[in-house]
Amino acid sequence: MDARQSLPAWQALTQHANMMKTKHMKDLFSQDTERFNKYSVKLPKILFDYSKNLIDQQTITQLVELAKQCQVEQWRERMFAGEHINTTEDRAVLHVALRDRLDNAKELDGVDINQQIAATQQQMAAFCDCVRSGQWRGYSGKAITDVVSIGVGGSNLGPQMVTEALHQYSDGQLKMHYVSNVDGTQIANVLKPLNPETVLFIVSSKTFTTTETMTNAHTAMQWLTTAAQDTSIVAKHFVAVTANKSNAIKFGISQDNIFNMWDWVGGRFSLWSAIGLPIALDLGFDQFKQLLDGAYEVDQHFLTAELEQNIPVLMALMSLWNTTFLGAQSQAILPYDQSLHMLSAYLQQAEMESNGKSVNWQGEKVDYPTVPSIWGELGINGQHAFYQYLHQSNNIVPADFIGSVESVTPVEGHHETLMANFFAQTQALMQGVTEQEVRADLKMRGRSDDYINKVAPHKVHLGNRPTNTLLMKRISPRSIGNLIALYEHKIFVQGIILQICSFDQWGVELGKTLANKIQQELESGQVNPNHDSSTQGLLAHYHAMKSES
Ligand code: F6P
């Protein structure tokens, strides 16, 4: 038995889960009219309602007790203090420092990192002003009109998701484009309509070794220098964000055009660093700061609120409860706000790259479910696609519903329709509809007994499907900062309770290594006979098809 499973709170929860599985949320709501007040927490810009989970007061007490027995509070202190809690890589985990007030020195391994952060932020602010005001000129003397951000994973998803989310806050001064895929179709399509004289490329890569990003950066460089017929103009069009300055310089980026990041910022938590440069260029540095302020507000809440009132802690506990104790295998992210159309893609990396692991801190295999798979879509589109499954399949999929009280783009008659669905869906998933109710309704509509017998079982919704609701006043740099930081701390807490090393990502290495070897075979036309027969057969077929006219 794993150390976590032998904790008294874990054992109590295992027993308690068996009892709760016999209950229906609809009954819990009718027995307790205070349920919403008990199980929701408000911050100035965001409300978290977790009352539509299969929980009662004992569940919360025991889950909070588990968090305490796992020393979540002490681990939280250790993270904020800059201890090397990323043990497998021997690094601190300090993305929170990036949005901290930088008033005092903050020592990390003997270095004042607040000074480093402030210097990079000043560099970003000055650069944004220069580009946005048109002072920064391309090789022919024209101002920059388009920014192409090249990066993948954490060096793409955060900046692109936030750029999309805050589109209404951009003055449109610069057009933003993102290239992440090594499939040449993407960069070809992005570059096609652009004028090389007025494009600025940002190459974002913490390691500056990622094959996909380097391939795209080389293509961009070639496109630019071919158009300019001059290789000395690169400094006017290329900047880099990286922790590997020497590689960026080797690539051809001018030293002055490099924005620093540090090994204590994980890729999937890096949008607050200079990796957020595309956001700052699009919105202006002041609004980028508001994003940081939003995250800072949540950091303070996370640090100070009692565990029972601490939103990220409760988010983690609900996920743990639904997954590890009640057996759900996936979790849906369902934003009812067009601005958040990339949120589920962003959270897929944040949650699954962090906690999608199966050994504990000691390297022992755990035999309990860790995190669910994360997937999702804008709510309304999902309703007309996979909500059938959410309501009536045999699998329970807990879901986060995320919406705004006000639209950032009010169009008469739209928002109330959108939000009516938002509220109705969590109600339907919780309540369901019994066969008796279905039959009574059909009878009232004058349907025949034969018809009722045939159709009634198909119309039953069992309900009892857990959801959380996150309701913002409206999308803004600050509220987006709030939202992302809530999920970041949720991930941290869940990792601590599950004893998962949340800040490494060894699972992406094996595929990369094999791809490097196979690329050589694709280029040489050879097939390594030591591959398994499937890979060998596929590669041989690929070569054969390629040589066909
Ligand atoms: O997918 C693996 C990964 O290492 C992510 O963790 C990271 O965000 C991404 O690749 C990009 O890495 P880099 O910023 O070093 O190019």
Three-state secondary structure call for residue 525: coil
For residue 289, report the distance from its CA to the centre of ligand 1, in Å: 24
Which tokens belong to 404? 């705004």
Tokens coding 271: 């949008």
Q: Among candidates 107, 382, 138, which has minimal Cα distance to 236?
A: 138
Pairing of strands 238-242, 199-204: parallel
Beta bridge pairs of residue 291 = none
Query: What are 40's strand-pairing partners?
Result: 49
Looking at ligand 1, which residue's alpha carbon is closest to its atom 16? 205
Question: Class assignment of domain 95-289?
Answer: alpha beta
Name the residue with the closest Cα to ligand 1, atom 9: 153
Sequence spans of domains, the chain:
8-69+305-406+469-498, 95-289, 508-548
Q: What is the pLDDT of residue 1?
A: 75
CA of residue 152 to ligand 1 center, whole Å:
6
Q: State the pairing for strand pair 467-472/46-49.
A: antiparallel
Nearest atom (ligand 1) to Cα of 152: 11
Closest by Cα among 284, 348, 372, 292 to 154:
348
Give me ligand 1 centre to Cα 40, in Å: 35
Any ligand 1 atom below 6 A from CB of 348: no
Report how far residue 148's alpha carbon sits from residue 138's, in angstroms, rounded to the nearest whole number.
Answer: 14
In eight-state DSSP terms, residue 161 is H
Q: What DSSP character marks residue 471?
A: E
CATH superfamily of 8-69+305-406+469-498: Glucose-6-phosphate isomerase like protein; domain 1 (3.40.50.10490)
Long-range contacts of 417-422 (CB under 8 A, 24+ apart): 418/336, 418/379, 418/380, 419/336, 421/336, 421/379, 421/380, 421/383, 422/336, 422/379
Give distance in angstroms: CA of 266 to centre of ligand 1: 9
445 CB-contact burial (10 Å; exposed 0-12 / middle 13-18 / buried 19+):
exposed
User: In CATH, what number does 508-548 get?
Assistant: 1.10.1390
- Closest atom of ligand 1 to CA, residue 212: 16
Assess contact for 334 and 399: CB atoms under 8 A. Answer: yes
* The pTM of the whole model exceeds 0.75: yes
Instruction: Check if the beta carbon of residue 533 is closer than 8 Å to that of residue 355.
Output: no
User: Could you confirm whether 384 is annotated as catalytic?
Assistant: yes
Specify the residue with its C-alpha closest to ligand 1, atom 2.
Answer: 508
Residue of 192, 384, 458, 546 marked catalytic: 384
Question: Ligand 1 centroid to 151 CA: how many Å?
Answer: 8
Which pLDDT does position 2 carry in this prediction?
Answer: 82
Q: Which residues does 452 contact at the CB level (< 8 Å), separation at least 6? A: 439, 442, 443
CB 189 within 8 A of CB 241: no
User: Two tokens at 410?
Assistant: 């009010």
pLDDT score, position 282 = 98
How far is 350 from 485, CA to CA, in rounded Å?
Answer: 11
Helices 72-81 and 477-498: crossing angle, nearest 10°?
120
Q: Are the CB atoms for 296 and 272 separated by under 8 Å? A: no
What type of residue sits at position 193?
P
* pLDDT given at position 549: 72
Cβ–ligand 1 distance for 205 under 6 Å, the answer yes
Q: Could you tell me the sign of the dihedral formed by the alpha carbons of 317, 320, 326, 328, in that order?
A: positive
Looking up tokens 């009812």 gives: 336
Residues of the chain with pLDDT under 50: none
Ligand 1: nearest atom to the Cα of 353: 6
Q: How far apart are CA 192 and CA 478, in angstroms?
A: 35
CA distance 501 to 492: 9
CB-based burial label for 245 (10 Å; 0-12, 13-18, 19+): middle
From the CB of 268, is ligand 1 less than 6 Å away? yes
Fold: same for 8-69+305-406+469-498 and 95-289 = yes
- Pocket lining: 210 vs ligand 1, CB cutoff 6 Å: yes
Ligand 1 centre to CA of 524 (Å) is: 28
Cα separation, 116 vs 102, whole angstroms: 10
Containing 259, the helix (H) or strand (E) segment is strand 258-260
Among candidate residues 353, 377, 391, 489, the one labeled active-site is 353
Is 353 annotated in the active site?
yes
What pLDDT is recorded for position 427? 98
- Cα 220 from Cα 214, distance rounded (Å): 10
Q: What is the pLDDT of residue 318?
A: 98
The answer, yes or no, to whether any atom of ligand 1 lies below 6 A from the CB of 155, is: yes
Q: Using one digit for the tens of pLDDT, what is the confidence trace for 478-493?
A: 999 999 999 999 999 9
Classified as helix, coil or strand, 411 is: coil
CA 510, 513, 514: angle at the middle one, nearest 5? 85
179 and 150 Cβ atoms separated by less than 8 Å: yes
